[in-house]
Amino acid sequence: MIEFRKEFFANERDDNLNEIGKPTRRQDILGHVTGRSPYFDDHLFEGLLHIRCVRSPHHHARIRRIDISAAEKMPGVVRVLLGKDVPRNLNTLLSLLDFGLDDEPVLSETKVAYKGEPVAAIVAESEAQARAAVLAVKVEYEALPHVLDVEDAVKPGAPVVCGIYPTNKFIYHGKFDHQKLRYGDVEEAFSRADHIVEGRYQMSPIEQAPMETCGAIAAPEINDRYVCFTSTQGLFFSLGTAAKLLTMPSSRLHFVGGTVGGGFGGKVDSMHEPLAILGAMLTGRPCKYAWDREEEMQVGAPRGAERWYIKDGVARDGRILARKFTGYFDSGAYTRLSSYAIIKGVGHLPGPYTIPNVYADVFCVYTNRTPATAMRGFGITGVDFAIEAHMDKVAEAVGLNPIELRILNSYRDGDMKAHRRTAKNCALVECCQVVAEKGGVALSPASRAATSLIDGGGERGRLPARTATDQNGAVSGYRGGSYGKKGGGASAMQPIRMPTPTDAARAPQRPAAPAYQPPAASPPSAPPPAPAMETPRHGALRFSSLSGFRRR
Amino acid sequence: MAMHRGRGFASINYPIGMNLGGDPSQALVHSNPDGKFTVALSSIDLGQGMKSVTRQIAAETLGIPVADVYVDTADSDTGPHCMGSFASRGTHRVGNAVIQAAQEARAVMLEAAAEELEVDASDLVTDGRGNIHVKGAPSRSITTMAACQAAQFKQGRTVSGRGIFLIPLSEVDPDTGEMTPVSCFAHAAMLVEVEVDDETGEVSVLDMQSAYELGRALNPKLVEQQLIGGAWMGMSHVLWETTEPYYPDRSHGPVDFNHYLMPGPGDLAPHHISVLERPAPDGPFGGKGPGEMCANPVLPAVANAVYDAVGVRIDDLPITPEKVLRGIRANGGARPKMRLPRAR
């Protein structure tokens, strides 16, 4: 079933190591096979309370009134949590990296933007009592028009999903309503291509489906701290998010995790830890907040849908001269990680091929559905499906064997990539050759002789003589590079915030009036020295320049 | 009505680590007086084997048996900062941090040994079995346990080390998309054979032939479990799964595993895997990360195989029997292509 083809790249490896390369048994295997490895849900404290959320039945609605009086009187109900109970009820996941604007409440207070959005949380003695009390919360909604299709959402006059982004598009670099990739001139290349091949591809939303659903158990710890057992994929990521939302110094939080029943990207959103800790803070008792399978599948963030349009200009011999992408990521009602997935996807274009002219416009679009997040293959799986299904069409258009087409266009060491960095450590050609051999597919002598190690570089390693750029999708009203100075929360995040060169540079220009600081937060320390940066050519280098901006 | 066979191909690469860098991970390594080492992390073991692969990396770097290392992870009071286990970053980023921490601890251990043996530390080597000896003179040796005991009780040294790995953050040019995304790439190619029933539209995956290049395979068994599981997931994505079957309409969303469709054991195809290892210059012992990329080639390869079998292009996932059947009917019947014939 599996073979290791050690003859490839053998001169680049020392295969005589003591421990590396050995099929050593897992450190945790004994605990796993005997069922004794502790997961978050094995910390069932005496007197544990259970949290269940009241969720929107509407795709999009204004909240007129939330009446919790009946629910509070239900058996076993200890507390009902509302948005006003969350110390800082607005966050965007990547704010810990200064990326994007806070856009999503823990518990919505004024409107809901997707079916399943939480508006209140019941804390009760048992899960059954919490479920019963959820039904007793009366929420008065005023339904609003909604939009579910990405291309409908970007049309003028579409319902506004998330008021922070009024055109339903994330704003990149404070400058454009999409992420651009411009390399060479695709239109010029199309005009001299022998074939034009076009396609439209739709990646479906997909659930990460871990065996263990997402959750956390929090409890008051001695000395005014809180312990939180969690299924998170990023321990300090979740800790930092909780510290921000609860305006609590991170030193008062003790997070324990590390043994997780599958993640696949679905356990980075840090939805459970803040609410479980808040429950523990307000009741003084241990609280568990975990999704059931239905929540995991329908309100837990999936891999978002993606729609891609691809247009190729191809020479008669099968060489791809130009490739143009238009992409729409369906972010759902809030940003979570979709904006970042797009940058990753754009850096990946045009796939593992050397194409001299590449163009992409990729949009992060808000729709009235469950927010999307990370999943195995983040930013890549959807566009790889599109690219490789498209390659099959190109192969047919030029009458080439699909494997030969890949080898012909494959990137090799020394080639220039569309994001303007040199390819190295390539191995696509060899993978194609091995599979052709195993599958009994006859290759031409040229394809058999090809290698990633040579034939690259030279002319293929040069930047295009000219690149066509444009100002399409330019926006105004956003300022680049200043997001990190938004008031609140920042000091709680200070220990894990990215140091950036512009922090120091901008300091003297800060207004005299101090920014709002949440109570009980420690004063921010001076930014540590900036990390060395490559290619500092474009001025501002802070991570927020990606997104990054504050609304004027 | 008939069954039609077809073959489809796809090849991909995959970026390792958070795309733009700026995602540090730390590791702390220390020895107890018996020469047994603890690696403290806050990285997450999702089942992929984070604890196991960092344990092997620490043992290799320290020059001691893997049994002498224990990885303790994800207690925020004791484990140093890590961005987390996602973006195929665990082995690459954390592995490098562990190497740095283990190198520092190893240097102290060798200094302690050198003092006991009255030699220069730069002349010492480890044998990976718990001994430190003078290069070329195996008889002048001391056990790692004795060296660590001497460090602790005689010399007053801490046999410990700190490590961090950080790829500096890259900017992105708004006008051209110029950026420095990631530092290394894994690769894969996949040939899938399917059988399509032109009466029901059902697609069966019969066989998968793959080649994965993932840098050095640090633990071949952990690599194997990732590749087999990941290919299954890719097959599931392309033919079965979605939370919104009528996307963008939100109706009929599945709420359990009876309605969220996935292939069962009977649907699995034999998967013949070849692993190629081109070490990443900046990877821990050349390792990249097989975790995410292994699913990706399966999706397009199956879609292309369906086209090869019956001449229907399904560009909207998942490829349900309904879509296949509608496509066959629109074409007036199955139109096999057979574009990847076996050489005679």
Sign of CA dihedral A149, A155, A156, A161: positive
A154-168, B9-23, B102-116, B242-256: range with lowest mean pLDDT = B9-23
Q: What is the mean pLDDT of residues A120-137?
A: 98
pLDDT band at B182 (very low <50, low <70, confident <90, very high): confident
A28-32, A449-453, A520-524: range with lowest mean pLDDT = A520-524
Distance in angstroms (rounded) separating the CA atoms of residues A42 and B72? 18
Q: Are residues A86 and A61 in contact, defined by beta-carbon separation less than 8 angstroms?
A: no
* CB proximity under 8 Å: A 439-478 to B: 439-442, 467, 469
Residue A20: exposed, middle, or buried by beta-carbon count in 10 A (0-12, 13-18, 19+)? buried
Give residue-wise pLDDT tens across range A418-442: 999 999 999 999 999 999 999 999 9
Contact A379 B19 (CB under 8 A): yes
Q: What is the mean pLDDT of residues A524-546?
A: 37
Token duo for residue B306: 């369906």
Q: Please list, in sequence order, all residues whose beta carbon lies within 8 angstroms of the beta carbon of residue B139, skipping any fewer than 6 positions away.
A: B133
Q: Can you give the pTM of this predicted structure? A: 0.92
Token duo for residue B282: 């900046």
Token duo for residue A274: 């803040």
**Neighboring chain B residues of A351 at a CB cutoff of 8 Å:** 12-13
Question: Concatenated DSSP letters for B81-117?
Answer: PB--S-TT-IIIIIHHHHHHHHHHHHHHHHHHHHHHH
Contact B211 A5 (CB under 8 A): yes
pLDDT band at A480 (very low <50, low <70, confident <90, very high): low
Residue to substitute from A12, A235, A373, interface B, most B β-carbons within 10 A: A235
The amino acid present at A221, given as its one-letter code, is E
**Per-residue pLDDT at A325:** 98
**Neighboring chain B residues of A179 at a CB cutoff of 8 Å:** 172, 177
Distance in angstroms (rounded) separating the CA atoms of residues A184 and A235? 42
**Neighboring chain B residues of A264 at a CB cutoff of 8 Å:** 46
**Per-residue pLDDT at B87:** 86
Q: What is the mean pLDDT of residues B305-310?
A: 98
Determine the distance in angstroms separating the CA of A248 from the nearest CA of chain B, rounded to an integer.
15
Determine the distance in angstroms separating the CA of A390 from the nearest CA of chain B, rounded to an integer.
9
Nearest CA in chain B to A373: B86
Question: Concatenated DSSP letters for A241-272?
Answer: HHHHHTT--GGGEEEE--B-S--TTTT-S--H
**Per-residue pLDDT at B83:** 93
pLDDT band at A97 (very low <50, low <70, confident <90, very high): confident
Helix (H) / strand (E) element for A197: namely strand A195-203
Q: Are residues B305 and B8 in contact, defined by beta-carbon separation less than 8 angstroms?
A: yes
Contact A376 B291 (CB under 8 A): yes
Residue B342 CB neighbours (<10 A): 9
Q: Please list, in sequence order, all residues whose beta carbon lies within 8 angstroms of the beta carbon of residue B263, skipping any fewer than 6 positions away.
A: B232, B235, B236, B239, B240
**Per-residue pLDDT at A552:** 31
Of A22, A298, A420, the CB nearest to B253: A298
Helix (H) / strand (E) element for A61: namely strand A61-67
Residue to substitute from B53, B54, B179, interface A, most A β-carbons within 10 A: B179
Token duo for residue B258: 């009876």
Distance in angstroms (rounded) separating the CA atoms of residues B197 and B243? 25
Contact A438 B272 (CB under 8 A): yes
**Neighboring chain A residues of B191 at a CB cutoff of 8 Å:** 403, 435-436, 438-439, 441
**Per-residue pLDDT at A527:** 41
**Per-residue pLDDT at A126:** 98
Pairs of residues, one from chain A and one from chain B, whose beta carbons lie less than 8 Å apart? 459
Does the structure show a pLDDT above 60 at A488? Answer: no
Q: What is the mean pLDDT of residues B171-189?
A: 92
- In chain B the beta strands, taken as DSSP E runs, fall at 3-15, 25-31, 37-41, 69-73, 124-126, 131-134, 137-143, 160-165, 185-197, 203-213, 271-276
Can you list the domains of chain A with their CATH numbers? 49-143 (3.90.1170.50), 179-197+309-461 (3.30.365.10), 209-298 (3.30.365.10), 478-523+539-551 (no CATH)
Task: Assign domain B3-16+182-330 one CATH number from 3.40.50.2300, 3.40.30.10, 3.30.365.10, 3.40.50.300.
Answer: 3.30.365.10
**Per-residue pLDDT at A282:** 98
**Per-residue pLDDT at A545:** 38
- Asked if A403 reaches chain B (Cβ–Cβ under 8 Å), the answer is yes
A78-92, A157-171, A498-512: range with lowest mean pLDDT = A498-512
Contact B222 A26 (CB under 8 A): yes
Determine the distance in angstroms separating the CA of B101 from the nearest CA of chain A, rounded to an integer.
17
Q: Listing from the earlier edge strand, what are the strands of the sheet with B137-143?
A: B124-126, B131-134, B137-143
**Per-residue pLDDT at A98:** 76
Determine the distance in angstroms separating the CA of A35 from the nearest CA of chain B, rounded to an integer.
14
* CB proximity under 8 Å: A 502-531 to B: 531
Determine the distance in angstroms separating the CA of B174 from the nearest CA of chain A, rounded to an integer.
6
Does the structure show a pLDDT above 50 at B328? Answer: yes
Nearest CA in chain A to B55: A27
pLDDT band at A521 (very low <50, low <70, confident <90, very high): very low
Question: Where along chain B do the CATH 3.30.365.10 domains lie?
Answer: 3-16+182-330, 25-165
Contact A20 B285 (CB under 8 A): yes
**Neighboring chain A residues of B228 at a CB cutoff of 8 Å:** 1
Report the CATH architecture of B25-165. 2-Layer Sandwich (3.30)
Q: Which percentage of chain A shows pLDDT scores above 90?
A: 84
Contact A258 B73 (CB under 8 A): yes
pLDDT band at B21 (very low <50, low <70, confident <90, very high): confident
Give residue-wise pLDDT tens across range A260-282: 999 999 999 999 999 999 999 99
Question: Concatenated DSSP letters for A112-170?
Answer: E-STT-EEEEEEESSHHHHHHHHHH-EEEEEE------HHHHTSTTPPPSSTTSTTSBP
